[in-house]
Each structure stands twice: as C-alpha cells, then as structure tokens.
Structure 1
C-alpha cells in the first residue's frame, strides 16, 4: 500500500528567478520521495515567516481539510513562525517540520526581531511529532536553541556531475549563493581587494542585490544573476576554486555541488559547512577559514594562487571527495525512515 504524504511548501519553490538551497532541497527530495509516497503538495503564498492574516488563514484552511492521522511534512520557513496555525491540528495530524535554518539565525535581524522569531519557532517545533534538520551541527543547534530532546538529520544529496579542466594558474574563482548579507559576498570582495597584485577573476552567481564592489576589483568580478541547469553546471566546470564566505550555513549545498565537479572549496567554518566539505584523500579538499575574517580569507586565496603544489593537493582531495558523495536517493531514504518511525508511533 502506498502511503500518502502531504507537504507544505512556500509558493515559488520552483521559481528559477529565486533559487535557494532550501528550495532545491525541497524539490529534489520530494522527487525521490515519490517512489515511496503518494506526495500531495500544498503551496502556500505569503511573506514568511510572518505572513499576513489572509495567508495564515489559507494555511489553516488547508490543514483543516486533511484527514485525521495524516502525515504532513512542513518546510520550516512556512511553519516555524505560525505556531497559532499549527496548534489546532497538532493532536489530529502528524506534523513533521523540516528546518533549513533557524528563523532567528537569519543575518540582519535586530535583537528584538530575532528573539520574537525564536520564541515563535520554539512554540511551533514543540507541536511537531518530529523535527528534521539538514546537518548534524544544525540538529544540535536546534536542540539547544529550543530545548528539544532530539532533532533528526537528513543531509542533502548531490547530483553526479562531470569535472571541468582546471587551468594552470587556478585563477578562475566562483561563488554561488543568493546575494544576501548571510552569504558574505562583501567579505569575499574585501578579501579580493587585498589580492590586486595577483591574476584572478571571480564570478558571483546568485539572485539578489549586488553588494558594493571595491573600485580596485570592479573589472575582475562579474554578477551574472541566478544560474540554473546547464548554465550553472558550466559555471562549475569553468572554475578552478569555489569560495563561500557565509556568516551562517546549516549545511551548504553549493559546497557539495562544487565537489561533485571535483572543485576544491574555500569556505568559512560555520554550521554544517565542515560536514559538507568533509575529508578525503588524506585531508580537507580545500580550506576552512574563520567567519568575518577577510584577512584570513585573503591569505588562503593568496596561497592557492601562488602555490602550484597546494593546488594539485587540493584537486586530488576534491576528486577523492567527489567519489564519496551521496545522492538524493540517500536523503530520501533517511527522510522516509524518519517519517515511517513517526507513522508507526515509535519514539
């Protein structure tokens, strides 16, 4: 018998103009869950995590129509900020909330805004039959933040990809991330401004507002906007080094996407990034640097650009790490196991 799974997603999850790691995770894992479940999607519009009353009412109406005992997987962006909507259905439905990023951890919030979102999210998550995070560090963070006994983990998978041909100088740098303060493009630009004596170019692919670009590097950086499909694949293949200067990451799917192309990675040591980067071939396939430290990032990039032996070592490790990456079928298998445990009433 095929089990039915109701999934609540933010509207626009498939909009190519607004790609995000959370949206890609939702879509890829649901594609694979369809092998085990009759998946019924509920897309809810609104300015999440605190939408207008009309959008909260639409979500409440959608939940009220579901049969008693139904399993409902909710994206945390939709569910985390509306505990008052979930409350009437917590005993009637099996609510499972997938947390991509704790709401209060978003960069740029005032202390009051962060505190309010954390309080709302705590109430929401405590109504769930299960909470799922996308990395072990993220799960421990959610447990500690909201005093939860256990948060499950279903790490993102990655699609297999063909490696590109590296250049001799390693000068082609790539950053793929939404253009928001949390992703740290400003830090990367500040680091690059310290390397004007070296040959390099950097592509910043992503949707959002372009940050201020220092004059000394203006002619060496490009912002092509969001890339997907063949264009994104080509960007990875045409790069030598992937760089991500995030201030917060629960996992960092773009890191494993880069590694799937055998691309070494330099990234900030935050959240689930070390888990995504991993080790293979005798070490890390790149380097982790402290967050908010443009000087440390510049030093690592200088080493990459000036040391051919280092480039070859990192490339060897990236090729080895590529061989260890798991696909979305494994993510779906883990999530299915979590959902079945809830459905069977097992702790």
Structure 2
C-alpha cells in the first residue's frame, strides 16, 4: 500500500465552511482510499493562506515530521503563499501542490471574501517559487493550468488537471414557468450577487423568485448592502438568503429549482455548475475562468443554458428564460443530455492517483532529483516526467 500525506486547512472538515475546494479535498481523499492509498490527513488550524505566525510554525513542523521522500499533497491555500516553508521542504519531500485558485490572480483576495488587492505584495512571486520547486502541480481545471503556465512560466509537463466529479443525482422536475432561480455560493463580492440582483430588478413584472444559498459571514458588510438593495428595489419578499446549506438541505434546494445562476466574476472551474447539470438543471453563468469548461455541451452540441458576459447580459439571458417556453424546453433538454456525460468523483480520484503514483515512482528511481519537471537535475536541466504507470490501485 502506498502512502500519501495530505496537508489541508482544518476548514475542510467544517460543515459550516462549505466551498468547492473543501468538497474537492474531501472527495479526493475518500477516492484515494478506495483506490488503496494509505491517506494520512493533516488538518492545519489557522486563517489560510495567511495565518498567524504560530500556525505557520505548525505547517513547518508538520512537514518536518514527515519521513524523507514522502509523497505529500498540499492544498494551495496552505502552500502557495509560503515559500520560506515549502522550498526547504521540497528538497526532502515529494510535494504536489493542489491549486484551486491561484493566489496571484488579481481577483484571488476578493474571491476569498476580502477586499480587492488584500493579499500581501509578493504573493505572486512566492507562489511562482513554490510551484516551480514542487514535484508536480495539480489543478482542478484546464483554465487554471493555462493561467499558471502563462503567468509563472511553469513547465507544461509539470502541471496536471483533475477536474471535479459530479455523481448523478435525481433530476429536478422543474415548474412550467421556470420561476425558481437558485445561486449557490458564499455571499462575497466576487460571486456576483450584486450583479444578479441588479439584473432581476430590471425584470419586476416577471414571476421570478431567487434563493441565495451560501455562507453569510465571509463579507458581512457586503451582505448588508445586498439586503438594503433588495429593500430599496421592493424585492425583499422575492429573494431569500438561506445561509449555509449542505447535505439534504442543499439537495432540496436544487430539487426545488428551475434554473441555477452562477454570476461570478472569477471561478477556476465551477463545481456548482456540474452539480446542477448532474441534476439536469440548466445553468446561466458568467463567461469567466473555468465556467465554460464546467458547462460543456450536450452530446448534440447544445449548451445546457447560456454563458454571458458579466453584467448587463445577465438580464437578457434571464429574460429569455422567463419569457420563452421554447428556450426553457431547449435548455432543459440539453441539460438532461449533458447529465449523462458527467464523470463521477471516482474518475477525479483516479487521475490524482495516477499523478501521485508517478511522483512516487520518480522518487524511487531518481532520488537525486528535486521534482518531476520542477527542479534542477545534475546536468542543469529538468528531468523528464516518469512513464505513465498502468491504471491500477497502488
């Protein structure tokens, strides 16, 4: 049995802190265990990516405690901002950094709930150094991989993609008028709730209602402004902020919906999109980041909803949905078809397993090197990636 040490923020186990990244980390760990890996989970307290000094010492101590040559999968929220800890560890451990959201992206701080530009200066330089020194970099979308290559000049063969899975679920039946709208995201500026409310206030005579499911404690001032906007527009009775939903409560929210709306200004993939499509729910989403990748198309090439430019175009897409029964049926039909093409989480875990197995193999065969395509070899170049192993449980 092969061992992988997984280093993640302790919020991954907190049901009150839902996120696509936390879901991904949990599902991948479970899938790796199913594939025969001995998964050693290390939960780190602290406000990552920039915890207090004592919590950063905890990260250093955790890495120092691992045996030399260990394969270590580290969440990017923990790894990317701390080259002073990760670079020394990369010399003795086989570190794979899992990048959900590049911290060097201009909207990274806002996406996490803070003000724009709130991350310390030098964050991008530190992230570049960490990812360059890593044995491999794992991303959750092709968009993220492309952004990292272009922004940090990383070796293409040092980055792998393992997109989130979407296990099939009971299809949502929908209503005749399509009036039940759902958005699932932490209520922070980058998720586009303000733009969505602005679009809906321009459609006062349509029979819509909106459920906003997601944590309300990440940006309280922003939440207060959204509530005030609803009062001023006279739509308070049509907009519900549920707070955090999970498990059966979230399933019920999807089941009661006709259309899922994802108006984010940045998404590296868009797990909400694939969760909606797994339930045959159409989606209207902003054409940013990895959302187009998540949306995909039905086998007949129809899109299961619409991708729009953030802002004013959102109102037009919602108007088309609410006004035209033909549009609703076409999007619903495409969503039903698209649901048949969703890959399960087990496929995601298999891709991660394949990468970890390669990293472990390189460690056994090239112990003098530091990294799969990421560190110097004795000749001053970069080692070639290891041959892809057979697809079997390690």
2:62 matched to which residue of 1?
Answer: 62
1:180 is aligned to 2:191? no
Instruction: Tell me, yes or no, if the aligned pair for 1:48 and 1:81 is still in contact at 8 Å.
Output: no
2:28 matched to which residue of 1?
Answer: 29
Unaligned runs of 5+ in 2: 363-383, 386-394
* CA displacement, residues 226-275 of structure 1 (integer Å, 9 cap, x when unaligned): 11111101111110000010000110001000011100000001111011
1:252 is aligned to 2:270? yes
1:11 is aligned to 2:10? yes
Runs of 4+ in 1 over 3 A off after TM superposition: 108-115
Q: Structure 1 residues 72 and 137 mapped into 2: Cα distance closer, same or farther (>3 Å)?
A: same
1:237 is aligned to 2:255? yes
The 2-side partners of 1:311 and 1:153 are apart by: 33
Q: What do you get for the CA RMSD once the two structures are aligned?
A: 1.3
The 1-side partners of 2:19 and 2:66 are apart by: 28
Q: Structure 1 residues 334 and 311 mapped into 2: Cα distance closer, same or farther (>3 Å)?
A: same
* CA displacement, residues 183-222 of structure 1 (integer Å, 9 cap, x when unaligned): 1111101111111111100000000232523332222000
| RCO comparison, higher one (Cα < 8 Å, 6+) | 2
The 1-side partners of 2:301 and 2:51 are apart by: 48
SS in 2 for 1:250: coil
TM-fit CA distance, 1:73: 0.1
SS in 2 for 1:103: coil
1:75 matched to which residue of 2?
Answer: 75
Unaligned runs of 5+ in 1: none
1:335 matched to which residue of 2?
Answer: 352
The 1-side partners of 2:118 and 2:192 are apart by: 23
1:140 is aligned to 2:146? yes
TM-fit CA distance, 1:341: 1.3
The 1-side partners of 2:4 and 2:184 are apart by: 32
How many equivalent residue pairs? 344
TM-fit CA distance, 1:15: 1.0
Q: Structure 1 residues 164 and 111 mapped into 2: Cα distance closer, same or farther (>3 Å)?
A: closer
1:306 is aligned to 2:314? no
1:288 matched to which residue of 2?
Answer: 307
1:174-213 superposed matches below 5 A: 174-208=182-216, 209=220, 210=223, 211-212=225-226, 213=229
SS in 2 for 1:41: strand
The 2-side partners of 1:269 and 1:206 are apart by: 21
The 2-side partners of 1:231 and 1:51 are apart by: 32
Instruction: Tell me, yes or no, if the aligned pair for 1:104 and 1:115 is still in contact at 8 Å.
Output: no
SS in 2 for 1:29: helix
Larger-Rg structure: 2
The 2-side partners of 1:318 and 1:329 are apart by: 22
SS in 1 for 2:13: coil
SS in 2 for 1:62: helix
